[in-house]
Amino acid sequence: MSDHQLPGKINLREKLALIDKLWTPKIVGELNGQHLKLAKVKGEFSWHQHDNADELFLVIRGRLTIELRDSNVELSEGEIFVVPRGVEHRPVADQEAHILLFEPKGTLNTGDVNNELTAPADDWI
């Protein structure tokens, strides 16, 4: 048996209860150089892109629209969409939605844009 200890399970409801600010992803786990981030979102985010990273969105609660320059992707609870690296996008939620993001460690939520919505890339809960 190895000395490596298995991490404990992650309760998404408990972790989401710790988030009190919209559009501020919090890291809940790590997998093969990827961070698993939870966020509560409502309204419109800023247009941005991630030049060197794909970004996976999983809707846990509510609905989320991923606006692309030439189309929109509507996501309901339990649905996933991967935004390919370099594709400009803007997440939008008419009502509060809860999402799980998978993206490489160190990825800023606003990608190539730095503004009032930019959150720390290393904030764990």
Residues 6+ apart with CB under 8 A from 123: 24, 25, 26, 27
pTM of the model: 0.88
Q: Is the pLDDT of residue 25 over 90?
A: yes
Q: Among the CATH numbers 1.25.40.10, 3.40.50.800, 2.60.120.10, 3.40.50.300, which is that of 12-104?
A: 2.60.120.10
Residue 119 has a pLDDT of 76
Q: Is the pLDDT of residue 2 over 50?
A: no
Burial of 68: CB neighbours in 10 Å, binned 0-12, 13-18, 19+: middle
pLDDT exceeding 70 applies to what percent of the chain? 90
Residue 110 has a pLDDT of 66
Residue 29 has a pLDDT of 93
Computed over every residue of the chain, the mean pLDDT equals: 90
- Of 30, 19, 90, 27, the closest CA to residue 61 belongs to 19
Q: Is the pLDDT of residue 1 over 90?
A: no
Q: Distance between CA 87 and CA 91 in Å, rounded?
A: 13
